[in-house]
Structure 1
């Protein structure tokens, strides 16, 4: 016999597989298969770049395809939203291709383009949304202040940079939520940043419990732990990036984050594997590496004979950070120690904050890392009088945000559980206007701002200007960065469409930099020809984004270094190439950039 049925396919070009299963009365079975190609008689295709920078001029491509054997009379239209930009009517036997030159509008959410075909009542089309990015860079300048006592502040701003935004908040948690969001949304994903993100998410979960608010970061916590497990080296160590050479500091930092997760009930075998690695290697380490391992072991309660290693360090440590690290270990393990040296070296800010060591860009011997150790020691000793003053210092140092993800995560982990989130009656006058309810935000159209605070509770004040710099000047104070194009084996200023091209970036390093990132924008008219991830020195990792490539170097020594990005010019037109930039990721005030440029791509 025969069985049959009718089916309506979706209105697109697709291949469909049909399977028939049969069985007779003797239980013998069989399978029949058929392959059906469904297609439309007329199809529209629209090809556009994945993004544009405002002011870019580009030729977008519309294509009409006739799948029948007949010649058809059709109409074609390019549209922006509902606005018709171009029309064409004519006969099509197989296909036609047409172009439309557009200019990217000022930056916004996106530009919606469509290409539509009509054959009588039959219509087909494609819609594409193109993100529009700004030309140049966004800059913010301003201050963050903590006013605990009655005080009057006089602030001055540049009137050419636009209005001043003043934001006043009583609740410290609401202030620090911005820093938690910074950790959560940070765009890069090396092992340090993943561990810092994990720490931030765990703190955010705790804060949600304190306030009774919902927490939506559970899947992100799991993803961060899984990512750290996958990036662990076979021997149990971690490098800066997945597959990188073992780094003792990175290994201890990741394990600290995994331990914090473990305390919240998130367990992974990567933690045990990492601790075993350090236990087997600890006898090889000296000074700072050894201190980091011993501090980790002490904090996680590792059963370990600390005394011989402490005796070894007693004779070699010299810096204030190293001496405080030894005090921390001695105190935690119940060994003889005294707080006298903390009082001897402490310093004070004008607003009453207490800190130790000098402000510097040394990885360990700086005021942030040393003061974090002092905070931990005083907290363990029950000295709330000192921990309160240290928290004041960290909040003063916050400005518009701490210097990097590492410092942000460690400061938040230290102080957030100890902050007083109660609100006391407080009054603020902004250029004479009285404010008693917080949070409060005001826009001031004046170059001078007077803030007068009175009342019992601390007030967290931010005053800043945000502005767009459409044509930033080159800066070669710390790094000199230059770039050029190569195509068909030679340098060029104009690219030819469809021929592979290389964007060559040269970085001149004046002083050795650690943990550096080179961020190289790519023009909207190009796509990546390939996405290699080089592991040759000094490069350790690359991340490819729609509009830029980020190259990471664990160490960038003095000299000139070259980086190459392989691209394919796919769209003709004129495109903006925003400035390339190199910076030390954890101390971004050390940076260099080149000038904004235009790139022509010919047909």
Structure 2
């Protein structure tokens, strides 16, 4: 899905890890030449977008027009500070207003996790409050693990290594450990803060790498993070950015030796790919396996040589035969219905003529309260967008819902964004005009919770005949 290009978080996540890599790593771990050439333009365009999306109170929300939130504002401030440290010109007025917003929230909020995160962000900008950090340290038992990790980093930034080490010791004791991995899991995730076990483990790894470089859990935590990838990435752009930044610190600390490593890949015992991973390569090697598979289980195995650490990721893409896609959802996902109407009469249709005005209706039933929901629908082929109606709640009190609707910059889809959606039924519609003759299959509308990928729902696919009246 292309929704994340519209979020403030994704805007920061697409450049912040790269800047961290350039700052910390060199030699065989350096970013390749091609990404280096693209990075300045990416950073500069991202900075301009962040300037434009800053709210009047100095903060940022998740998407354009959203109310300001401390976690998104803190993330933007970290991105601006990192860009400035890397030599990019940053609008100081924008940065100062963001810092002032965070200081204000830190004084007002009673949430110790929020206070700890803001304290960390301010310390990264040399604006930290050591007395507040020490006071928070006395209340760390009431914090989430990721907040404790950020507080340890803040205390270290401000020179109180003794207090930071005490928190690092507590985090070491809270580990979930196996023979080969280590990770940290929260009793309850605060979804407004984009919390996840991957983000928590990344924060703890970063704190332990700074406070206890000889900690026996570092290698195991790095292993767990690498094994949690799905096709080379993690659950969201935010989690990916946090983990890449944390692993950057880990690699810079450990100074892993890197050498050319040979590999072989087997599918059901047959050799299907072989080659070498070279440390100075522009990008990691990819072995693409194309084969028609019979029903049942199949085994992929990889052999590697050499003493360098090797991290593997696999992705399976398959195409099933069939005439269409049925509606489906996960246990906590949305139930989505979509249909087409004659715009003037509301009569249902599947066939129209060029020039006809159609209304596409979408109904969404949310079974649970949701943070950071995205409903995305591709425009019917053979049509052009005319107008979009807002996403509205059909029943109950909608005062707490925070809804935004945007036409994507891509010409073939619409995205509807809900920062906070209480459980219930919602509806939206948009107008299109039929322009091109033909018989078209329309892919399903989809809804995901960006930071909870396991929650998803889709409508059925549809057919639209643009050619003449039935």
> When the two structures are superposed, what TM-score results if normalisation uses the length of structure 2?
0.79
Quick check: 1:475 aligned with 2:328?
A: yes
Relative to structure 1, is the Cα distance of residues 302 and 533 closer, same or farther in structure 2, using a 3 angstrom cutoff?
Answer: farther
Higher relative contact order (CA 8 A, sep 6+): 1
| 1:444 Cα deviation after fit | 7.1
| 1:514 Cα deviation after fit | 0.7
1:399-418 → structure 2 map (5 Å cutoff): 399-400=230-231, 401-418=233-250
| Partner Cα distance (1:505, 1:197) in 2 | 31
Q: Which residue number in structure 1 is paired with residue 377 of structure 2? A: 520
| Partner Cα distance (1:225, 1:284) in 2 | 28
Instruction: Report the secondary structure of 1:508's partner residue.
Output: strand
| Partner Cα distance (2:308, 2:212) in 1 | 23
| 1:231 Cα deviation after fit | 0.7
| 1:407 Cα deviation after fit | 0.6
Say what the alpha-carbon RMSD is for the aligned residues: 3.2
| 1:275 Cα deviation after fit | 0.6
Relative to structure 1, is the Cα distance of residues 511 and 452 closer, same or farther in structure 2, using a 3 angstrom cutoff?
Answer: same
| Partner Cα distance (2:121, 2:452) in 1 | 24
Gaps of 5+ in 1: 1-136, 138-184
Pick from 17, 24, 44 the counterpart of residue 222 of structure 1.
44
Gaps of 5+ in 2: 278-284, 393-397
Q: Which residue number in structure 2 is paired with residue 161 of structure 1? A: none
Q: Which residue number in structure 2 is paired with residue 251 of structure 1? A: 73
| Partner Cα distance (1:452, 1:216) in 2 | 34
| 1:425 Cα deviation after fit | 5.6
Q: Which residue number in structure 2 is paired with residue 189 of structure 1? A: 6
Instruction: Report the secondary structure of 1:511's partner residue.
Output: coil
| 1:416 Cα deviation after fit | 2.5
| 1:242 Cα deviation after fit | 2.3
1:511-550 → structure 2 map (5 Å cutoff): 511-530=368-387, 537-544=401-408, 545-550=410-415
| Partner Cα distance (2:177, 2:348) in 1 | 57
Pick from 89, 92, 98 the counterpart of residue 274 of structure 1.
98
Q: Which residue number in structure 2 is paired with residue 554 of structure 1? A: 419
| Partner Cα distance (2:128, 2:186) in 1 | 35
Q: Which residue number in structure 2 is paired with residue 260 of structure 1? A: 82
Pick from 193, 205, 212 the counterpart of residue 375 of structure 1.
205
1:437-452 → structure 2 map (5 Å cutoff): 437-438=276-277, 439=285, 441=287, 443=289, 445=291, 447-452=298-303
1:199-598 → structure 2 map (5 Å cutoff): 199-203=16-20, 210=30, 213-214=33-34, 215-217=36-38, 218-266=40-88, 267-269=90-92, 270-287=94-111, 288-307=113-132, 310-311=135-136, 314=139, 317-333=142-158, 334=160, 336-337=163-164, 338=166, 339-349=168-178, 352-357=180-185, 362-363=190-191, 366-384=196-214, 385-400=216-231, 401-419=233-251, 420=256, 422-423=258-259, 428=264, 430=266, 431=269, 433=271, 437-438=276-277, 439=285, 441=287, 443=289, 445=291, 447-453=298-304, 455-469=306-320, 471-477=324-330, 478-486=333-341, 487-494=343-350, 495=352, 497-530=354-387, 537-544=401-408, 545-598=410-463
| 1:532 Cα deviation after fit | 6.5
Check the 8 A contact 2:199/2:243 in 1, yes or no: no
Check the 8 A contact 2:3/2:415 in 1, yes or no: no
Q: Which has the higher strand share?
A: 1
Q: Which residue number in structure 2 is paired with residue 144 of structure 1? A: none
| Partner Cα distance (1:241, 1:435) in 2 | 44
Relative to structure 1, is the Cα distance of residues 380 and 318 closer, same or farther in structure 2, using a 3 angstrom cutoff?
Answer: closer
Instruction: Report the secondary structure of 1:502's partner residue.
Output: strand
Relative to structure 1, is the Cα distance of residues 382 and 322 closer, same or farther in structure 2, using a 3 angstrom cutoff?
Answer: closer
Instruction: Report the secondary structure of 1:278's partner residue.
Output: helix
> When the two structures are superposed, what TM-score results if normalisation uses the length of structure 1?
0.63
Instruction: Report the secondary structure of 2:319's partner residue.
Output: strand
| Partner Cα distance (1:427, 1:528) in 2 | 49
Q: Which has the higher helix share?
A: 2
Instruction: Report the secondary structure of 1:340's partner residue.
Output: helix
| 1:548 Cα deviation after fit | 1.5
| 1:326 Cα deviation after fit | 3.6
| 1:500 Cα deviation after fit | 2.9
- From the CA coordinates, give the structure whose radius of gyration is larger: 1
Relative to structure 1, is the Cα distance of residues 310 and 502 closer, same or farther in structure 2, using a 3 angstrom cutoff?
Answer: farther
Instruction: Report the secondary structure of 1:461's partner residue.
Output: coil
Relative to structure 1, is the Cα distance of residues 370 and 462 closer, same or farther in structure 2, using a 3 angstrom cutoff?
Answer: closer
Q: Which moved more, 1:385-394 or 1:442-451?
A: 442-451
| 1:291 Cα deviation after fit | 2.2
Relative to structure 1, is the Cα distance of residues 316 and 468 closer, same or farther in structure 2, using a 3 angstrom cutoff?
Answer: same
Instruction: Report the secondary structure of 2:33's partner residue.
Output: coil
Cα-to-partner distance string for 1:122-174 (whole Å, 9 max, x where unaligned) = xxxxxxxxxxxxxxx9xxxxxxxxxxxxxxxxxxxxxxxxxxxxxxxxxxxxx
Check the 8 A contact 1:328/1:373 in 2, yes or no: no
| Partner Cα distance (1:582, 1:562) in 2 | 13
